[in-house]
Amino acid sequence: MLKQMRNLDVCFTYRLRHTMNTTVRNLLLIGGSAALLAACGQTAPPADPAPAEQTQDASAELTSFVDAEFKRLVLDRSPETQTFLGIKDDYGRWDEATRARSEETLQLYRDSVETLKAKFADAKLNTQAKLSYKLYIDGLADQEADFKWFDYSYPFNQMFGRQSRGPAFLIAQHRVGSEADAVAYIERLEGYKAMMDQYVDLAIERFGKDIYPPKFVYEYVLDDAKNIITGAPFEDGDDSTLLADLKSKVDGLELDDARKAELLARGTAALKDSVKPAYDRVIKVMTEQQAKADTDDGVWKLPKGGAYYAHRLKKMTTTDLTADEIHNIGLSEMDRIHDEMRGIMETVGFDGTLNEFFVFMREDEQFYFADTEEGRAGYLELATDLINNMKGRLDELFITKPKADVVVKPVEAFREKSAGKAFYQRPTPDGSRPGVYYANLYNMAEMPKYAAEALAYHEGVPGHHMQIAIAQELRGVPMFRKFGGYTAYIEGWGLYSEYVPKEIGLYEDPYSDFGRLSLELWRAARLVVDTGLHHKRWTRQEAIDYLVENTPNAERDCVKAIERYIVMPGQATAYKIGMLKILELRKMAKDALGERFDIREFHDVILANGAVPLDVLEDLVETWIKEKSA
């Protein structure tokens, strides 16, 4: 769960966040609906005829218990999560990533559930506390299922591998505002080898169990690892990525030059004595594994791979849809969106086939910024302008809006080659760091102007920034509600957020509207290729060919996408499944309420409760409909 929280910040492209300690993940989620109805101002009568005061006291006690468990089982056991949330209690330490640690956390959760049952099984609880009680207990079954597949992830990969996630964490998350913060940064450098060795040990153990990524993944991992130890102090030349970051942060402190020099000397020694040996071992082990790895791509190749993929689909979509059902939904959506694209072709007067139109959109220079620093600056300016314009239109669609700001930044050079095209990083709860929409401008041919509008809405507002910042800012909601996440809900909202601005007159340029459709088409294609790779045993090349033939995206874009889906099985299916559910619920509400339907109120029901599973989301909407109909 911890890792998922962090990956939610990197829209996911990374979101998924993926290799998270699943025991901790569910602890963030289990109480997810503890104040579900209260969060949006709903109050349901108690189911039992107990005095209101008795029910209120027991419910408050249950909420306090689960909140305390969040601190004990999540925050106190994860220095990295503390850092993500702006807490500096264990600022110089890394998380433990061993099987023993995860098993210990699971046992603590088992004990916690038993305590919950003993304290509250016969308690008089209000509706939201009863839901919290149920989800907390049900979460243990999910936890046990997750732990069964503890070995089934790749510690080193191009999407969320520790070889790049460690430096990214230090650079983007470890803020230095005092001498103590700088010392903690250096302590993390000094503990880098011990931390990284845990992940190397996991990779070695899993390789021995025939659980490892296909051969192509290793080249990305090795490139990332080598990039981190390129430059000073590891060799002659410009400062390495981490040394440059450390210098910048130390230079910003109000310390005398002598003390700054001492800190930099200690940090430089840590880079040489801890970081360098850590990456030397990563490079050695990954090189050895690369020589032995095969080229099979889907998780069907792993021991019990079919059962593992079924688990991933259930986890990512929060539904019981089978791989075949998801595949067929994808094919149907592809046909629908292709038809809408043909309408755009008529609007702009293009004479040719849809595939010829794809080639035109892929190759015509008018749709791309120059692959120069000026071109990159132009893209960042465009994305910022689009988000700022949308901020001025939010009152038309929303009641609740976030206080935290969002900024647009390019993906850092050290990871831009392997990173996804765009992702989001949440703001800190205390407001010290805004939300960030990261745009990957490594290759400007992969970032067309016509898709910039939809991408800005997805990552910024009204997409991930709005949803995640609002959840963090909810009042009276425990921390596990604010920082938990379900991929289908989060990514479903992101994709829905690309669509809803069209309903208030945005996407005025038909090519920009084509860009919106192209991104929706991309998510529909994911249903096809993800299930194709992991269930139908497609090869990497077959999946790439499907995207090239059926989307307007550049071939390299298609290659990177398929390589992402290979190391993150099932995650890509969450987007379209989540969006379809939100649209289904909106239609249900419109049909039921008629003129009483208010899109602003509907969005408040969706957002003002934090992230929830899709079935719980449906319950919330149905409750709102009943209340509006009364």
Question: What's the pLDDT score for residue 414?
Answer: 77
Residues sharing a CB contact under 8 Å with residue 147, sequence separation 6 or more, in sequence order: 22, 23, 102, 103, 106
What is the distance, to the nearest Å, from the Cα of residue 504 to the centroid of all Cα atoms in its chain? 28
Residues 324 and 409 in one domain: yes
Q: Is 189 part of a structural domain of the chain?
A: yes
User: Containing domain of residue 460, as a range?
Assistant: 312-575
Residues 78 and 118 in one domain: yes
Question: What's the pLDDT score for residue 42?
Answer: 33
Residues 179 and 94 in one domain: no
Boundary (domain end) residue, out of 103, 122, 148: 148
Residues 78 and 183 in one domain: no
Answer yes or no: is pLDDT of 204 > 80: yes
Q: Where are the alpha helices (DSSP H) in 11-126?
A: 22-30, 36-39, 52-73, 79-84, 99-120
Residues 380 and 268 in one domain: no
DSSP notation for 584-626: HHHHHHHHHHGGG--HHHHHHHHHTT-S--HHHHHHHHHHHHH
Residues 372 and 495 in one domain: yes
Answer yes or no: is pLDDT of 198 > 70: yes
Answer yes or no: is pLDDT of 343 > 90: yes
Boundary (domain end) residue, out of 575, 596, 622: 575
Mean pLDDT of 396-421: 89
Mean pLDDT of 239-262: 97
Answer yes or no: is pLDDT of 23 > 50: no
CA–CA distance, 18 with 3 (Å, rounded to integer) = 7
Residues 373 and 497 in one domain: yes
The angle subtended at Cα 576 by Cα 28 and Cα 546, nearest 5°, is 125
Q: Is 144 part of a structural domain of the chain?
A: yes
Q: Is 595 part of a structural domain of the chain?
A: no
Task: Centre a 10 Å sphere on the Cβ of residue 348 and count the other Cβ atoms it contains.
Answer: 12
Residues 546 and 402 in one domain: yes
Reported as a pLDDT band with limits 50, 70 and 90, residue 1 is very low
Answer yes or no: is pLDDT of 342 > 60: yes
Q: Where are the alpha helices (DSSP H) in 474-610?
A: 479-483, 487-499, 510-534, 540-550, 555-567, 574-593, 599-607
CA–CA distance, 80 with 1 (Å, rounded to integer) = 12
Boundary (domain end) residue, out of 270, 298, 326: 298
Residues 140 and 276 in one domain: no
Residues 208 and 108 in one domain: no
> Which residue did the predictor score with more confidence, 53 or 469?
469
Spatial CA neighbour of 437 closest among 411, 408, 464: 408
Residues 317 and 419 in one domain: yes
Provide, rounded to the nearest whole percent, the portion of the chain with pLDDT above 70.
91
Answer yes or no: is pLDDT of 378 > 90: yes
pLDDT digits (tens, 9 = 90+) for 549-574: 999 998 988 999 999 999 999 999 99
φ, ψ for residue 406, nearest 5 deg: -130, 140
Residues 167 and 144 in one domain: no
Q: Is 28 helix (H, G, I), strand (E, B) or coil?
A: helix
Answer yes or no: is pLDDT of 11 > 60: no
What are the distances in angstroms from CA 307 to CA 300, 301, 303, 312, 319? 9, 11, 9, 9, 15
DSSP notation for 374-412: HHHHHHHHHHHHHHHHHHTTGGGT-SS--SS-EEEEEPP
Question: What's the pLDDT score for residue 483?
Answer: 79
* Domains held by the chain: number: 3
